[in-house]
């Protein structure tokens, strides 16, 4: 039995969506990477704390991102919700505003990360990235 023809998504030249834009993002998993980011620049925003570090020339290329929420944020449900919101904000903002060769770590804040309007969370991330990148100059 042959399955019915599935509609294939078609893109036109006018589409603004970049294919696989989030594929540039690599996730930090090693403790040492988080510790190196903790010694680098940081900026506190209402919904999160952003840490940023420039990697050396011998390290991997691309944008790397890490997420963390301590038990201060709440129970496991609250921490997971905060991390999901941080991941989605980073997925939307970093491909446009992040820089290659950088590590970013987003740290959730108690009550704020989970309750802040998502549009404000994204706007705060854009602002934080701009401020930290300006410090590099």
- Is residue 21 in some structural domain? no
65-84 pLDDT, tens per residue?
999 999 999 999 999 999 99
Q: The domain spanning residue 43 has which CATH number? A: 3.30.230.10
- Is residue 18 in some structural domain? no
Q: What is the pLDDT of residue 17?
A: 45
Starting at the earlier edge strand, list the strands of the sheet with 25-27. Answer: 25-27, 63-68, 102-108, 48-54, 41-44
- Is residue 16 in some structural domain? no
- For the cut 60, the answer to whether the pLDDT of residue 13 exceeds it is no
- Is residue 14 in some structural domain? no
- pTM comes to 0.80
Domain boundaries, position 66: 27-131
Chain centre distance of CA 85: 10
- Is residue 15 in some structural domain? no
Q: What is the pLDDT of residue 2?
A: 61
- Is residue 9 in some structural domain? no
- For the cut 80, the answer to whether the pLDDT of residue 94 exceeds it is yes
Question: Count of domains in the chain?
Answer: 1
């Amino acid at each position: 039995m042959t399955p019915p023809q599935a509609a294939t998504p078609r893109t036109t030249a006018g589409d603004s969506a970049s294919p696989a834009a989030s594929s540039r993002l690599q996730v930090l998993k090693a403790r040492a990477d988080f510790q190196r980011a903790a010694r680098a620049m940081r900026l506190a925003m209402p919904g999160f704390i952003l840490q940023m570090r420039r990697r050396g020339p011998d390290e991997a290329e691309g944008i790397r991102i890490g997420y963390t929420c301590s038990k201060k944020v709440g129970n496991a449900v609250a921490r997971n919700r905060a991390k999901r919101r941080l991941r989605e904000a980073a997925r939307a903002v970093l491909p446009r505003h992040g820089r290659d060769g950088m590590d970013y770590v987003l740290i959730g804040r108690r009550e704020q990360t989970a309750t802040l309007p998502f549009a404000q969370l994204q706007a705060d991330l854009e602002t934080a990235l701009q401020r930290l990148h300006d410090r590099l100059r």
